[in-house]
Amino acid sequence: MSEAVIQAPDWLMPVLALIGVTLTAGGGVVGALIAAKVQGRATDAAKAQAEKSNEQQMIDQLQEELAGYRGRADDRMTAQDVRMTALEADNKELRAQRDTYRDYAHVLRSHIYDQLPPPPPPWPDGAPR
């Protein structure tokens, strides 16, 4: 048996070398594109995280301001409740005095209407003069 040796044409070796270089360069370009895309996604994720962080900081700040407003509103309401209680007590006292004066005025009018002589009826107890 004889062995046949196949000879490659002369152009085949440069073409294979060119294909190798082209594949290597193409792989590098594809790798660079993939790396750029991954980096872009990482940048987008970092940007989204930073925006969320900024949003969260703003929410926290607004919640602190709202808590301050609520605290001041509670203080005002407490002060108004104290004031209203004092006013109601004063009003109750003034109404009692008014009713006492009114009753005494009716007693005096009755005294005059009945044509009774002086002195007038005694001043009511507890009524300021």
Q: Dump pLDDT digits (tens) for 63-116.
A: 999 999 999 999 999 999 999 999 999 999 999 999 999 999 999 999 999 999
Q: How large is the average pLDDT for residues 6-33?
A: 87
Task: Record the tokens describing residue 114, joined without a space.
Answer: 């009945």
pTM of this structure = 0.46
pLDDT at 1: 56
Instruction: Examine residue 119 and say whether the peptide bond preceding it is cis (omega within 30 degrees of 0).
Output: yes
Predicted confidence (pLDDT) at residue 40 exceeds the cutoff of 70: yes
